[in-house]
Amino acid sequence: MRESTVRVGLIYPELLGTYGDRGNALVLAQRCRWRDLAAEVVEVPAGAPIPDSLDVYLFGGGEDDPQNMAAAGMRDSRAAIVRAWEGGAVVFAVCAGFQLIGHSYVAADGTRLDGIGLVDAVTDPGPDRLIGEVLVQPDAPLPTLTGFENHGGRTTLGPGVRPLGTVLAGGGNGDGSGGDGALGERLVATYLHGPVLPRNPALADHLLQWVVGDLRPLDSTWEERLRAERIAAGSKTGLAKWWQQRMLNRG
Ligand code: GLN
């Protein structure tokens, strides 16, 4: 049994906190406590250096301007993040966070900005925004994930990088590959908000077991009900889009 407190790092919540991504930190800490494991959420405010002492690094979504501010701080703290990750910490990045742990992304004014390059991925602006419910079949022993997306960027993974999974409904990476996010060693990236971990408790536990090892199962009845309801909503969106496309194609 782990002795030390699990330190869940919530990085720049003022900048990278779109659509309640803070909920991801609360869920990780609470699922530890329900198992009698001590956990704390450590907030790293914008402008502060990111320490190398955290067990989980959560990078949330953000609008373009806050995202640019977050990028500068993350680049300054890159060495600490890499040190922690290589030393066993987990990285979980959502939407803008995902774009920022890639090599680069194009800001709203058209300039290409550097990310921190933990993942071989580049993000370019798309012709429109991808908005709505998403369903993803993970490329890991996990049930179908549900989430919400709202992003203009399209992310292309390098040849050696696996996506988190295959998009069943919605956009995901939106680069034509049919994938969402990225899956690496103790690293998950995704376009799914919601926030995504309260909606997908199995994904939360997947991240936690990298930190604490085998986990005792928890009763997730309510979370599973939410997941089932969201899968139904996502499937409806998928069906509606398919129908609309069919009608448009008929002219
Ligand atoms: N600003 C980024 C984009 O539009 C990320 C948006 C987000 O995090 N929801 O692509």
Note the pLDDT tens digit of each residue in 157-183.
999 999 999 999 999 999 999 999 999
In whole angstroms, how far apart are CA 110 and each of 67, 68, 103, 104, 137?
14, 12, 16, 12, 33
Q: What percent of the chain has pLDDT over 90?
A: 83
Tokens 């709202």 sit at which residue?
150
Whole-model pTM: value is 0.93
Which of ligand 1's atoms lies nearest the C-alpha of 95? Answer: 8
**Confidence category of residue 18, pLDDT binned at 50, 70, 90:** confident
Amino acid 251: pLDDT: 46
Note the pLDDT tens digit of each residue in 145-156.
999 999 999 999
Would you give the end-to-end CA distance of the chain in angstroms? 63
Note the pLDDT tens digit of each residue in 44-73.
999 999 999 999 999 999 999 999 999 999
**Confidence category of residue 230, pLDDT binned at 50, 70, 90:** confident
Residue range 7-30: average pLDDT? 96
**Is 151's C-beta closer than 6 angstroms to any atom of ligand 1?**
yes
Q: Does domain 6-250 have CATH number 3.40.50.880?
A: yes
| 13 prior amide bond cis, ω within 30 | no
195 CB contacts (<8 Å, ≥6 apart)? 19, 20, 21, 22, 23, 24, 27, 94
In the predicted structure, residue 89 carries a pLDDT above the cut 80: yes
152 C-alpha to ligand 1 centroid (Å)? 6
251 C-alpha to ligand 1 centroid (Å)? 32
Amino acid 3: pLDDT: 76
In the predicted structure, residue 239 carries a pLDDT above the cut 90: no
Residue range 81-101: average pLDDT? 98
Query: Is 103 tagged catalytic?
Result: no
The pairing of beta strand 179-180 with beta strand 39-44 = unpaired
Query: Of the residues 150, 190, 191, which should be mutated to test ligand 1's pocket, given the most ligand atoms within 8 Å of the CB?
Result: 150
DSSP letters, 10-36, are EE-TTTS-GGGTHHHHHHHHHHHHTTT
Which of ligand 1's atoms lies nearest the C-alpha of 94? Answer: 8
Q: How many CA atoms lie within 13 A of 121 on its CB side?
A: 36
Backbone angles phi, psi at 232, to 5 degrees: -60, -45
Residue 221: exposure state from Cβ atoms within 10 A (0-12, 13-18, ≥19): exposed
Alpha helices (H) along 77-169: 78-86, 96-101
Query: Is 206 tagged catalytic?
Result: no
Backbone angles phi, psi at 106, to 5 degrees: -100, 120
**Is 201's C-beta closer than 6 angstroms to any atom of ligand 1?**
no
Distance of CA 148 to the CA centre of its chain: 11
Average pLDDT, the chain: 93
Name which residue sits closest to atom 5 of ligand 1, judged by CA. 96
Which of ligand 1's atoms lies nearest the C-alpha of 62? Answer: 8
CA gap 56, 232 in Å, rounded: 31
**Is 173's C-beta closer than 6 angstroms to any atom of ligand 1?**
no
Residue range 189-207: average pLDDT? 96
Higher pLDDT, 228 or 33: 33
In the predicted structure, residue 246 carries a pLDDT above the cut 90: no
Query: Would you list the domain boundaries of the chain?
Result: 6-250
> In the structure encoding, which two tokens stand for residue 71, read together?
């990028």
